[in-house]
């Protein structure tokens, strides 16, 4: 096969290669990276042969041969790196940080763009050198034709190898360009946008436990409609003080709606909502004292009040007798006949239960009546102790 037939076969080689890879691999990114590695390897082999020919005849290797080998080896490693890191991450869950780095848009553009630029650069340089070499057109015009007939006879094969290497570099550049186009398509379609590692805060609409408690409360609700109270929805769920079986239920509770429906309201000029007689007559809470006034209320009938519930003071903490000095105080809050004409001080409602100084005043009064010396006022002047 002559030189032209060899070059034509090389043109059909990438087409056969792509068809064979497409039959066994479905992902185009893997096909492109394998093709880049393959054609860079072929270009490296070609220019390694060119460099060995130059070294054999003592005319090299040239700088172009060394640069071509360097670019081809670098392209091989770069293609394998872009190929195996995602595969290892997907199959074995390894190299997680490196795989996330490669999924960044800017990193992908830098790596693939570098492969495209260097492949295009070396393809142009080797093409110009292979097709403009004087010895490749006419062996007798080669600058080193003086080395003998053996050199000039081997020169056509050397030129063919150099041209084949240039073609392989162009094929490698084509697959690098395909990888770059695929990267742009993935970027535009949003496939390269990685989701955030930490999900943003979302306000919960409902609590699961709260929903279960609401369902449980609905199944045990009394058939009668509950009384509406000015509570928030969260407090209404746990507030069962109006239930009949609740230990906190109070039949005489002062609520917004008065229990006595026959109450006569005073005019709006009075600041109190109910009349004085009605307020004293309706003092029926378990924590209030029975009314002592005999003034008839302004209502037509005040019957039907429930009896006050017994005290919840199970341990008798509030059943002690009144402090000393208040033994003669009546349970009624009205002034007695003896106190009304005398100048004795009157006892207030708040001070009749506890007076911390009553015992002190009683002891001082007793000591003064028996003739005990009154205590002297403390002073620092007559002090004769240790100095």
Contacts of 9 (CB under 8 A, 6+ apart): 1
pLDDT digits (tens, 9 = 90+) for 259-308: 444 444 444 444 444 444 444 444 444 444 444 444 444 444 445 555 55
pLDDT score at 103 = 83
Nearest alpha-carbon partner for 280 in 296, 267, 268: 296
pLDDT score at 318 = 67
What value does the mean pLDDT of the chain take? 70
Q: What is d(CA 152, CA 136) in angstroms, rounded to the nearest whole number? A: 10
CB-based contact 163:131 (threshold 8 Å)? yes
Nearest alpha-carbon partner for 250 in 315, 309, 316: 309
pLDDT score at 34 = 87
Query: What ranges do the domains of the chain cover?
Result: 3-189
- 189: helix, strand or coil: helix
Expressed in angstroms, the distance from the first to the final Cα of the chain is 131
pLDDT digits (tens, 9 = 90+) for 309-353: 666 666 666 666 555 554 454 545 455 554 445 555 555 555 555
pLDDT score at 380 = 52
> 3-state SS string over 221-243?
CCCCCCCCCCCCHHHHHHCCCCC
Give one DSSP letter per residue of 96-163, joined into a string: HHHHHHHTSHHHHHHHHHHHHHHHHHHHHHHHHHHHS-HHHH-GGGSTTGGG-HHHHHHHHHHHHHHH
CB-based contact 282:274 (threshold 8 Å)? yes
Taking residue 183's Cβ as centre, other Cβ atoms within 10 Å add up to 19
Contacts of 255 (CB under 8 A, 6+ apart): 227
85, 87, 91, 95 alpha-carbon torsion, rounded to 10°: 10
Ranges of residues in the chain whose predicted pLDDT is under 70: 1-26, 193-198, 205-356, 369-387
Q: What is d(CA 370, CA 118) in angstroms, rounded to the nearest whole number? A: 122
Whole-model pTM: value is: 0.47
pLDDT score at 11 = 62
pLDDT score at 28 = 83
């Amino acid at each position: 096969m002559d030189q032209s037939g060899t070059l034509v076969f090389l043109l059909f080689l990438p087409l056969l290669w792509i068809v064979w890879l497409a039959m066994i691999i479905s992902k185009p990114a893997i096909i492109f990276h394998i093709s880049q590695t393959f054609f860079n390897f072929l270009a490296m082999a070609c220019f390694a042969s060119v460099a060995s020919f130059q070294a054999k005849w003592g005319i090299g290797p040239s700088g172009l041969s060394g640069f071509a080998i360097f670019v081809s080896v670098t392209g091989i490693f770069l293609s394998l790196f872009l190929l195996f890191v995602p595969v290892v991450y997907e199959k074995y869950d390894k190299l997680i940080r490196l795989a996330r780095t490669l999924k960044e848009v800017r990193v992908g553009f830098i790596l693939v763009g570098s492969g495209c630029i260097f492949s295009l650069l070396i393809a142009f340089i080797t093409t110009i050198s292979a097709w403009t070499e004087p010895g490749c057109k006419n062996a007798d015009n080669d600058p080193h034709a003086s080395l003998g007939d053996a050199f000039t006879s081997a020169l056509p094969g050397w030129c063919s190898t150099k041209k084949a290497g240039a073609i392989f570099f162009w094929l490698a550049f084509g697959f690098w360009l395909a990888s770059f186009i695929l990267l742009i398509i993935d970027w535009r379609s949003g496939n390269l946008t990685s989701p955030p590692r930490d999900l943003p805060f979302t306000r919960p609409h409902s609590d699961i436990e709260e929903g279960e408690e609401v369902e449980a409360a609905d199944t045990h609700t009394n058939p009668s409609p509950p009384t509406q109270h000015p509570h928030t929805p969260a407090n209404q769920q746990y507030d069962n003080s109006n239930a009949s079986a609740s230990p906190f239920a109070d039949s005489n509770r002062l609520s917004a709606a008065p229990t006595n429906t026959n109450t006569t309201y005073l005019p709006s000029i009075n600041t109190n909502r109910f009349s004085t007689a009605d307020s004293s007559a309706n003092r029926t809470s378990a924590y209030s004292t029975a009314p002592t006034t005999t003034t008839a209320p302004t209502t037509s009938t005040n019957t039907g009040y429930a009896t006050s519930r017994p005290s919840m003071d199970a341990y008798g903490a509030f059943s002690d007798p009144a402090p000393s000095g208040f033994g003669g105080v009546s349970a009624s809050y009205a002034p007695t006949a003896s106190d009304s004409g005398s100048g004795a001080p009157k006892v207030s409602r708040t001070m009749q239960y506890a007076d911390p100084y009553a015992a002190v005043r009683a002891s001082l009064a007793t000591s003064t009546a028996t003739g005990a010396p009154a205590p002297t006022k403390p002073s620092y002047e007559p002090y004769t102790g240790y100095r």
